[in-house]
Structure 1
Amino acid sequence: MTENRPDLRVLVERLGGLAERRLAFDPSTEAARTRAVQLRDHAVGHLRVRAASLDAPLLILLLGPTGAGKSSLFNALAGRAASRTGVLRPTTRTAIVLAHPDDLETLRAGALAGLGSDQLESVADPSLPSGVALVDAPDVDSIEHANRELADRLVEAADLCVFVTTATRYADRVPWTVLGRVRERGLPIVVVVNRLPPAGDDRVVVLDDVRRLFGDAGFGAELEVTGIAEGALDPDNDALDAVSVGPIRVRIDALRGDAAGRRALAAEALAGSVAGVGPLVSRVADDVAHEQIDVAALRRTVATDHERELAALRADLARGTFLRDEALRHWQRYVGADDVTRLFSRGIGAIRGAIASVFRPSTAPVVEVREATTDDLVAVVRQHAAEAARRTATAWADEPRVGAAIGERGDLWGVSPGFDDRLRTRLEGWIASIGEDIAATGEGKRKLARGASIGVNALGVGVMLATFIHTAGLTGTEVGVAAATAFLNQKLLGALFGEAAMVELISRARARLDAALEATFAEERERFEALVPATDDLDGLALELRAVADEIRTVSPGSVAIEASIEPATPPLTVDRPDR
């Protein structure tokens, strides 16, 4: 900031960065994408280029409808037949740029970059002073869409617009579409009315009416309007008469010899261009804000679906009903269910005393029970994770922002590739942590454990099963393998570790398993979340765009800072600034 004035170059750089970020967030609708592309192209392709090269040649753009004499004016300013004129309509199908050879090279690499030879014809004239380039644009009323697009592209790049019309066609509707873009962009403009009555009231009436129409369209009351009389022609050069265009030519020649004046006009045009893009910045900010709301809703959907299925999974695990009877029977036989049942009535102390006789020296079915339990656990987790994915994919399928991705990626309708392997790795880590916890908890009962010949691995299976099957008020009379196994398992663990230690062991194991399952569901959820931006990022971008839009509203000619103030050596071309 300089003396509380916005630094235009800093503002342009910020705007360009925001425009690129906005487009990177993949706008969700075609209309929003069109606005985002327009903002990016204008901010990066024109504003940033022009702000970095205020000493580049000025682009003076001649616009007008077919037959208005635009190319004839171009030839008059060029001093020769540089642009074709004639009765074939539209006369000008490609843009023609006339400049010193060095200026042409600069413009081709800067303001006119990206325009091919089929769009832009270059006319190099070494005799011309450098600093100003004239561009004869395609006729603005051309029925060819490409011509209208090219004219609009040139409006983006120009520093000054010279609009050419006639005494009978100035109110035609079609050219006002392009003039509206000139006004929105804040481009300085001069109006040339060709084929006027040579003198008298009729001439005054036409010029006054032209000023009125431009004023009604949002151009200011100080609009400069130049009139050229009917028949003021130079047939040798297919041009307007040199005397009639004298005032315009004198001012352009003055700019060619006045570097400071050119720089001042370029800065003024840049300020107008920045100010003109303000409404578009606000609309893009609104687009981003609306998308933030939509994305937040999408993220809530995926979070809700996965949280619901994780809660259902927890309920299944708490009931233990997902475990197959075969594995539970293995464990029930191992702990010697018949002998242990007879001891329960004698109390925990008796169980501790008889524990060595209860556990037979036969090998515990650790591997069989652990693998079967892991298989059952993987199956039930996969079932709930797949259901969460199916629910989310179904809800997202009709959403414009993500519907295409859902349709193209079949993996989003179920668990992710490699799901089982990743889950098994997590469960192996969980089972290993149970063994480590048992070793630490049973440090003072080492003698008891050795006497029972049980071992950490077997006890680990007991704790693992206890996280899923537990008595919760059951008695030995309850029917079912799970209930019976739970009853025996808890009694034995309590006998070995004590009731409080057993509860802590099981509680810690259950908490670690829950953390592992939460991590698994988070991974599955992230597949969907990766398809949409973070809501905080969108919210932050919308706020930054609105802040820039507010700053742009303070921009007007003379209100901006670009290095130091610029004082032209000669008065710059008198132009009007459109009201905004």
Structure 2
Amino acid sequence: MSGTQKLVDAFHQLDSALPAAQFPLPLDGAESLRSLAGSLAHQVRDYLLPRASKLDAPLLAVVGGSTGAGKSTIVNSLLRAEVTRPGVLRPTTKSPVLICHSDDEAWFRSDKVLPGLVRTDTQLHDSRALHLVAFPDLPPGLALLDAPDIDSVDDANRALARQLLLAADLWVFVTSAARYADAVPWDYLHQAQQRNTMLSVVVNRCPPGAIAQVAGHLAQMLAERGLASAKLFAIAERPLGHDGLLPLPDVGGLRQWLGQLASQSEARAQVATQSLAGSVRSLDPQLHELIGGIQRQDEAIDELREQSEVTYRQAVADVVQAAGDGTMLRGEILSRWQDLVGTGEFMRNIEERISAFRDRITGWFRGEPEVQAVEIAISDNLAAVLQEKGQWAAEQVAVKWSRTRWGRDIVIAEPGLAHPSPDFDAAATAAIRAWQSDVMRLVEEQGRGKRMKARFLALGTNMLALALMIVVFAATGGLTGAEIGIAGSASVLAQRLLEAVFGEGAVRKLAEQAQADLEARVQGVLAVELSRYGVILDSLAVDDGATAQLEAAAAALREAARSAFDDLTAPEL
């Protein structure tokens, strides 16, 4: 495979990789990176692919520059005919005009050059249209394109001006004596220097007595910025002729220079190779800039994701802690449990009651309604804790995300993220009730042994399940002070009751499993809440393979460039 074909293939690979360069979060520099990615995509399709595919294609000289610099007038004066209409109103919204010899018309009418612009035979007030003019007096091999203003107040005009300049083999950059030192022109000239673009600079409308002074100063500025090789032409300010053209001598030097390029195939090939090589060389740092921007996007999204995940992990831990540190053995649950098992003599003589278990076990509690009352109290109170932590987690994530501009934008766009989802309270209640069912199933499975069957049936699944929940609620020993005397005794009673039926070792395992099941249920319902943030972040995340695709494209370009250009013109990559 030839070096040129490798280069074409590398451009196709880059063209496929660039759409993956997305910058959805408004990080610093994201807007310029989005612009850069779009600019590179245009450059590949508008210029790099067609030029690499056909090195001997006609040269495209783009005439660009500042507002009111006289670009259209200079183009017409070079051609000695009014081919492109000078703009009068600002901003000048008109279609760019491409003038070529009829022998080159088929090349420029094809979709190989500037494929995103619609060809037209009339100059329109539409920057998306390219007015194509076949002009017999322009020598074949070179086309002129009258581009929009680089500093237009119209965004579309300004973007198109940049796109056209980056699609050029050479620039005819027009400025004026009053504006040649402005920042915007020099930003573009710096790009020409980076790409090693063949360049001519025309300083128009010079005071007749100051042409040498203006030209000398501009030449010094060009040299200081690495553009000493640029062809410099100065045109005096004077009234236009009746035909609206500059006198031929005023544009004679520029006309002669362009004519020499058009007439010499070797010179055209040199320009094409120089511009192509310079453009390829400029791609490598730009691609690495995109790759760095993508990595910063990934890091920002990972940070937001970590903030949400850490917050919800803490919410799970808080609920589990509250369910095991004795917090639940206060208030209604304790009161309902005491109503169920009784107080007084029962609490004073636990050991005696346990020894009398086989004879009078069914008299220990007052019946099914009291059991249901404890179950409801546990369900309501534990669900309330879970609901409170769900609300806290949503609020905390919103606060954390709002500390960055990009996170704040998401919260503003999705205000519901600062609150639990509408069905969260119901889901939390359902999760706790499901856990209560889990505990009952554990008790039933443990009670299948024949040796404990009578004792198990005497108390029943619900009573033993409630006792196991009470044990879980005091598993981490968070009770202090006077609470030990009341709630602690309730927990001890539940522990002794279970041990009388299942044995000490089995109760410990049952409590551990019940606690693990509770954590799983809490994690499950809060994971659904957390997933709301994940869905949004996933929608903003850059393609996982974006960095690898761009790195591979950059490597392919470096390798292809070494094959396509000789040592004198090879990009220093």
- Give the structure 1 partner of residue 222 of structure 2: 214
Amino acid at match of 2:404: E
Q: Report the residue type matching 1:59 in the other structure.
A: L
Partner of 2:40: 43
**Post-superposition shift, 1:44?**
1.9
1:125 partnered with 2:134:
yes
Q: State how 1:403-414 maps to structure 2 within 5 Å.
A: 403-414=408-419
Percent identity over paired residues:
27
C-alpha change, 1:392 and 1:141, in structure 2 (3 Å) is closer
Contact 2:114 2:167 in 1 (8 A): no
1:520 is matched by which residue type in structure 2?
Answer: V
Q: Distance in 2 between matches of 1:144 and 1:254?
A: 38
Match of 2:167, as an amino acid? Answer: A
1:321 aligned to which of 320, 327, 332: 327
C-alpha contact 1:325 1:482 (8 A) present in aligned 2: no
Partner of 1:161, secondary structure, is strand
Change (3 A) 1:517 1:493: same
Q: 2 CA distance for matches of 1:561 and 1:237?
A: 49
> Which whole-Å deviations, capped at 9, do the CAs of 1:391-444 have from their partners, x for residues lacking one?
332333342111133245443333232112222333343333323322332221
- Confirm or deny that 1:176 pairs with 2:186: yes
What is the 5 A alignment of 1:39-78?
39-54=36-51, 55=54, 58-64=59-65, 70-71=71-72, 74-75=75-76, 78=79
**Is the 2:196–2:279 contact (alpha carbons within 8 Å) kept by the matching residues of 1?**
yes
Q: Distance in 1 between matches of 2:476 and 2:556?
A: 69
* Counterpart residue number, 1:276: 282
In 2, Cα distance between equivalents of 1:25 and 1:195: 45
Q: 1:252 to 1:560 in 2, by over 3 A?
A: farther
TM-score by length of 2: 0.74
C-alpha offsets along residues 152-205 of structure 1, whole Å, 9 cap, x if unaligned? 232123232133579x78965464343233334543324568899xxxxx9999
Does the CA contact (< 8 Å) of 1:218 and 1:578 recur in 2? no
**Within the alignment, does 1:113 sit opposite 2:114 as a pair?**
no
Q: Is the 8 A contact 2:325 2:476 kept in 1?
A: no
Residues of 1 paired with 2:501 and 2:91: CA distance? 101
**Closer, same or farther in 2 for the Cα pair 1:46/1:470, shift >3 Å?**
closer
Which residue does the alignment assign to 2:516? 511
SS of 2:449's equivalent?
helix
1:136 aligns with 2:133: no
Q: Normalized per residue, which structure has more helix? A: 2
**1:290 positional shift:** 4.9
Amino acid at match of 1:501: A
Match of 2:82 in 1: 81
User: Is 1:345 aligned with 2:354?
Assistant: no
Matched residue type, 1:425 = A
Check conservation: 2:43, 2:166, Cα contact below 8 A. Answer: yes
| 1:354-382 residue CA offsets vs partner (Å, 9 max, x unmatched) | 36454579436444332321111110111
Could you tell me whether the CA contact under 8 Å between 1:51 and 1:270 is conserved in 2?
yes
Larger CA deviation: 537-546 vs 379-388: 537-546
TM-score (norm 1): 0.73
Compared with structure 1, are the counterparts of its residues 270 and 456 closer, same or farther at alpha carbon in structure 2 (3 Å cutoff)? Answer: farther
Structure 2: gaps (5+ residues): none
- In the other structure, the counterpart of 2:561 is 559
539 and 141 in structure 1: CA distance in 2 versus 1, 3 angstrom threshold:
closer
Unaligned regions of 5+ residues in structure 1, if any?
A: 197-201, 567-575
Please give the secondary structure, in 1, of the residue aligned with 2:22. Answer: helix
Matched residue pairs, number? Answer: 549
The AA in structure 2 aligned to 1:125 is A
Q: CA deviation at 1:509?
A: 0.7
Greater shift after overlay, 526-535 or 437-446? 526-535
Question: What SS does structure 2 have at the residue aligned with 1:345?
Answer: helix
Shift of 1:332: 3.9
RMSD: 5.2
Distance 1:302 1:237, change over 3 A: closer
Matches within 5 A, 1:320-469: 320-322=326-328, 325-335=331-341, 341=347, 344-346=350-352, 350-354=355-359, 356-358=361-363, 362-363=367-368, 365-445=370-450, 448-449=453-454, 452-469=457-474
